[in-house]
């Protein structure tokens, strides 16, 4: 299937990671997937939420916040604070980011501290939540490495890397990694989050005023797993370069 940007149906957009984009963060990454760009920053607080203390829950905590900057879209998007509340979409996405990372981080190993992940969309062209998860996974890996280097923890609490990608059905066929134009046109919209060993963390899918078949679902799952494997390979390459540079 020929797509508007010339990609094959099973092809992800060009992906890149720029580390250290936010020097004050413990770990930070600017992730670009096509024209979608998201800054993912990780900061550590040497304390845990009050509910953990009250319930005598051991270990640490990891949580995320997500926002789209006003200039990330073609028309200005007002900041949530100007509306006096977080919109439902932002709430859903930041909870998804938090769940995705908690699935692969050993909170006991993290110790009695809170890991904050802030994902801010600089430019939105589809797949902002999946780019945020993919970038956040790398930012968390960098932050955990710094905690080990500073001897605050004995070993990295990361069990696995995690990444996410979108898929959909366009003209009856499955396609991978939707840009904004495709996101508006597809009849089925799907988001997949999975670990480096192919285990799913979360699947989100729905028909856009239509239904989809088991065969179409299987096609999107296959494309999603392929795309996530490629994204994790790209994450691994960045971490390998970081190890060489810091050796």
Q: What CATH number should be reported for the domain holding residue 42?
A: 3.30.230.70
pLDDT value for 220? 96
For residue 7, tell me if it sits in a domain.
no
For residue 33, tell me if it sits in a domain.
yes
Q: Are 14 and 6 in contact (CB under 8 A)?
A: no
Say how many domains are in the chain.
1
For residue 180, tell me if it sits in a domain.
no
pTM: 0.95
Domain that holds residue 116: 15-159+232-246
Per-residue pLDDT of the chain in tens (247 residues, 90 and over written 9): 568 889 999 999 999 999 999 999 999 999 999 999 999 999 999 999 999 999 999 999 999 999 999 999 989 988 877 777 777 889 999 999 999 999 999 999 999 999 999 999 999 999 999 999 999 999 999 999 999 999 999 999 999 999 999 999 998 899 999 999 999 999 999 999 999 999 999 999 999 878 999 999 999 999 999 999 999 999 999 999 988 877 6
For residue 118, tell me if it sits in a domain.
yes
Owner of token pair 């390979």: 233
For residue 115, tell me if it sits in a domain.
yes
Backbone phi and psi for residue 136, each to the nearest 5 degrees, phi listed first: -65, -35
Query: Would you mind telling me the total number of residues written for the chain in this entry?
Result: 247
For residue 187, tell me if it sits in a domain.
no
Q: Are 87 and 68 in contact (CB under 8 A)?
A: no
pLDDT value for 247? 64
For residue 207, tell me if it sits in a domain.
no
Q: How far apart are CA 26 and CA 20, in angstroms?
A: 9
Hey, what are 38's tokens? 């998201």
For residue 169, tell me if it sits in a domain.
no
pLDDT value for 1? 59
Q: How far apart are CA 204 and CA 211, in angstroms?
A: 14
For 85, what's the count of Cα atoms within 13 Å in the CB-facing half-sphere?
3
């Amino acid at each position: 299937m020929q797509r508007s940007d010339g990609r094959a149906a099973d092809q992800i957009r060009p992906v890149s990671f720029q580390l250290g984009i936010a020097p004050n963060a413990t770990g930070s990454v600017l992730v670009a997937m096509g024209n979608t760009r998201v800054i993912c920053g990780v900061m550590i607080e040497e304390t845990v939420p009050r509910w953990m203390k009250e319930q005598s829950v051991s270990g640490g905590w990891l949580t995320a916040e997500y926002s789209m900057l006003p200039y990330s879209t073609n028309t200005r998007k007002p900041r949530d604070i100007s509306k006096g509340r977080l919109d439902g979409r932002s709430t859903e996405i930041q909870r998804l980011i938090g769940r995705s990372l908690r699935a692969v981080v050993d909170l006991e190993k993290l110790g009695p501290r809170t890991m904050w992940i802030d994902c801010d969309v600089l430019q939105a062209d589809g797949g902002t939540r999946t780019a945020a998860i993919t970038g956040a996974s790398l930012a968390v890996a960098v932050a955990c490495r710094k905690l080990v280097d500073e001897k605050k923890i004995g070993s990295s609490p990361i069990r696995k890397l995690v990444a996410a990608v979108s898929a959909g059905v366009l003209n009856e066929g499955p396609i991978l990694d939707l840009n904004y134009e495709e996101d508006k046109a597809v009849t089925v919209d799907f988001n997949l989050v999975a670990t480096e060993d192919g285990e799913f963390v979360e699947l989100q899918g729905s028909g856009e005023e239509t239904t989809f078949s088991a065969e179409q679902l299987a096609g999107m799952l296959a494309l999603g797993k392929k795309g996530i494997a490629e994204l994790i390979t790209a994450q691994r390459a960045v971490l390998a370069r970081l190890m060489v540079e810091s050796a």
